[in-house]
Amino acid sequence: MALLLSLLLVLTGCSAPQRGTDSPADSSPTTDASADPGEPGTDRLTIAVVGDSITVGSDPTFAPGQVSEDSWVRYAVGDPVELAGGWARWGATTAEMAAAADPVPADVLVIMAGTNDLAAGTPTAQVAGSLEQIVAEVGAKEVLLCAVPPLDASPEVVPPFNEFLQQTAQAHGWAWTDPSAGIRTDGHFAPGMSVDGVHPTQAGATDIGGQVRNVLLDRFAAPQ
């Protein structure tokens, strides 16, 4: 119980100007409504992304062409990788993501989720079911499941959760990556890589996005 309270205090306490606080306006789902990413299967590699505040960054708007500078997605896209749509919101659990996800015409679905489930003490079986529902709702041809970044207040809870995520990916034939490996030191964020021990700085987001991009290009992009 003390561990869960500690995590909840860390996650709900992120109301500094970099992140803002949850409000009705902030919690509105955002999906692909303005861009035309084209049909999947062309030379472009279109992606759908589902996640929480680590994905959405400090700007609650999350859509093609409207990605915050401290969102890792900003550094994963760029020719030939294009964001086709998705959903991300501060404080979202995987169950909330599953309830909000809509179909997106994309080659690959990228999911970075679970930090808020750790805080809420969600059973891993429930998280696995929510991930399956997200995949089914979005309907992308391929899936890339990502490890969650560190939690500096309780670093010991992250490795077993990421191991569970990796096993879930393997069981379903999804791709897997730990894009935070380069900004993690002894289970914590490396110096300068987090604003609060939960969310990455712009430098941290740049590194995470670059790692995701590398996996997308190596595993899913058409040979040049």
| pLDDT one-digit tens code per residue, 77-122 | 999 999 999 999 999 999 999 999 999 999 999 999 999 999 999 9
Asked whether residue 157 is assigned to any structural domain, the reply reads: yes
CB atoms within 10 A of CB 41: 12
Query: How far is residue 1's CA from residue 81's CA, in Å, rounded to a whole number?
Result: 42
What's the pTM? 0.83
Give me the chain's average pLDDT, please: 85
Q: Answer yes or no: is 84 within a domain.
A: yes
Pairing of strands 184-185, 81-88: unpaired
Q: Does residue 28 sit within a domain?
A: no
Q: What is the CA radius of gyration of the chain?
A: 16
pLDDT of amino acid 73: 98
According to the model, what pLDDT value does residue 78 have? Answer: 96
Mean pLDDT for 26-44 is: 43
Whether the pLDDT of residue 24 is over 80: the answer is: no
Residue 119 domain-assigned?
A: yes
Please name which of 198, 200, 3 lies closest in space to residue 120, comparing C-alpha atoms.
3
Cβ atoms of 44 and 80 closer than 8 Å: yes
Decide if 59 is inside a domain: yes
Q: Confirm whether 214 is domain-assigned.
A: yes
Domain ranges, residue 210: 2-11+44-219
Residue 56 included in any domain:
yes
* Nearest-5° Cα angle at 44, 43 to 49: 150
Cβ atoms 114, 94 nearer than 8 A: yes
Q: CATH code at 124?
A: 3.40.50.1110
Q: What is the mean pLDDT of residues 190-194?
A: 97
The answer on pLDDT for 209 being more than 90 is yes
Residue-wise pLDDT for 49-62, tens only, equals: 999 999 999 988 89
Does residue 170 belong to any structural domain of this protein? yes
Q: What is the pLDDT of residue 16?
A: 36
Read off the pLDDT band of 64 (50, 70, 90): very high
Q: Is the pLDDT of residue 30 over 60?
A: no
19 pLDDT higher than 60: no
pLDDT tens track for 126-152:
999 999 999 999 999 999 999 999 999
**58 strand-pairing partners:** none
pLDDT at 38 over 70: no
β-bridge pairing 184-185 and 188-189: antiparallel
pLDDT at 33 over 90: no
Our count of domains for the chain comes to 1
Mean pLDDT to the nearest integer, 153-165: 97
180 compared with 223, residue with greater pLDDT: 180
DSSP-based three-state secondary structure for 46: strand
pLDDT at 224: 55
Rounded distance between C-alpha atoms, residue 20 and residue 38, angstroms: 34
DSSP letter for each residue of 81-125: EEEEEEEE-TT--HHHHHHH------SEEEEE--HHHHHHT--HH
